[in-house]
Amino acid sequence: MLVTVEGIDGSGKSTLLQGLAEKLKDLNPVFTREPGATWIGEQVRRGIKEKINPVAEALLFVADHAAHLDTVIRPALKEGRLVVSDRYTDSRYAYQSETLKGLVKDPKKWLEDIHNGWTISPDLTFLLMLPVEESLERINGKNIEKEHFECRAVLENVQANYLELAEKNPERFIVIDAKKDKKEILDFVSEIIRKKSKIARIN
């Protein structure tokens, strides 16, 4: 079973994922991430840092995804493992729809077309929703170098794209209010994963 966790920067994904690693230990899950599970992921990070052409950047994200499927996701799913990915294709739909505006004709369609036929859709996607204002406060408080995605105008649109994805795919999206207590979020998410993975094993 493939579970993905999505949300704008600063929405609390990392905290949730750390908690899940502890809570779901007995299920022996594979934790992975995009970008970064492959050496191409390292090139993606370099591309982000050097602010390369957005089309090149988008294609690097897609290349990382393809390699990620081959080296991590497919083998783990084949073994019947539970896979939890920190970001996945929805990140592309949410972020690159924004960064590709004006550069390709219809960014959403462009992204759909490029993934069609070879990608794997998640069984369950948790979307952490935090107001952009608060996400920026959290990011700014961290005192680390900011990525070019991390500004108000971009994040507002990324957030809107995420919500649109959740509305279009209600069968797999679960939207979480990221302002809620961290423990409450962790308990809620881990219980859903547990229940769903039981059903997946029975089937």
**Contact residues for ligand TYD, defined by CB under 6 A:** 9, 13, 34-35, 48, 61, 87, 91-92, 95-96, 147, 149
2 or 197: whose CB is closer to ligand TYD? 2
Residue (43 or 194) nearer to ligand TYD, CB: 43
Phi and psi angles of residue 196, each rounded to the nearest 5 degrees, phi first: -65, -35
> Which of these, 40, 49, 92, 93, lies nearest to 68 by C-alpha position?
40
Q: Tokens in use for 172?
A: 């797999």
Amino acid at 186: L
Beta carbon of residue 112, minimum distance to ligand TYD (angstroms, whole number): 14
Task: Using the minimum distance from each CB to ligand TYD, give the nearer residue, 161 or 197.
Answer: 161
Cα diameter, the chain: 47
> Distance between CA atoms of 159 and 8, rounded to whole angstroms?
7
Smallest separation (angstroms) from ligand TYD to the CB of 25: 22
- Give the C-alpha separation, 27 to 48, whole Å: 34
Distance of closest approach, residue 106 Cβ to ligand TYD, in angstroms: 18
Structure token pair of residue 12? 């609390």
Minimum Å gap between C-beta 8 and ligand TYD is 8
Give residues with Cβ within 8 angstroms of 126, minimum separation 6.
Answer: 3, 4, 5, 6, 16, 174, 176, 189
Residue nearest to ligand TYD (CB): 95
Residue closer to ligand TYD by CB (options 119, 190) is 119
Min CB(62)–ligand TYD separation in Å? 8
Nearer to ligand TYD, 147 or 164 (CB): 147
Is residue 30 within 8 A of residue 83, CB to CB? The reply is yes
